[in-house]
Amino acid sequence: MPENPRRMVRRSVVLLALLSALPVAGRADELADVRERVQASMQWARSYVVTTTSATGFSVTTTFVAPDRYRSALSYSGAMRDIVLIGDTAYVSDDGGRTYRKTPAPPEILAAQAQLHDVPVDRVLPDKLIGGKVWGRFTTVASGPQKDQYLICAYDKRTYRIHDCSNGGMTLTFSRYDDPANVVTVPPNVAGSSR
């Protein structure tokens, strides 16, 4: 017995409605726009904080202040290390910030810090409702010193500033953009130096 034409039409409408609700990757012009706006928002930020946590138990909180000041507090298995970068000079503390030693910053550390501003947008994903707010999302494959990282990032749809990037093993949370409390200075307790 042939199917009722009305039922076929209804089924087709339901199928089309379901298909239209599926997430669709962004178009090329949308990708270029999001890429440009995210890059600009990170380049123009005067300061921000990035907190990185990993499934292996380490955490790093990095404060950036333009143009070239960073402070990273690393914690792993109870050990603490504090690193202050100002230009190409590093101040390193292995004793919880009681004393620092001054040293030239290794080029790979300078490159890793600079990459915090350069998060490539590889593919635009559908928006996502998180905590009552709609966030834009994208994937990135080459951010950070580990070029094989695959991360999904959420960004503010109004400012294009990154909120967080994560994968199964790591989360980077960006916060306190342009906060006047974000300050990075030469530590007062540099061993054997007048700074």
Name which of 171, 165, 134, 167 is nearest 42 in CA terms: 165
Residue percentage of the chain with pLDDT more than 90: 58
72 Cβ contact list (under 8 Å, min separation 6): 60, 61, 62, 63, 82, 83, 85, 113
66 φ, ψ (degrees, to nearest 5): -60, 150
Residue 66 has pLDDT above 70, yes or no: yes
Reported as a single tens digit per residue, the pLDDT across 160-191 is 999 999 998 899 999 999 999 999 999 999 98
Reported as a single tens digit per residue, the pLDDT across 127-162 is 999 889 999 999 998 655 555 678 999 999 999 999
**Both structure tokens of 92:** 């390193």
Mean residue pLDDT of the chain comes to 83
Residue labelled with tokens 């749809």:
157
Query: Class of 28-175 per CATH?
Result: mainly beta
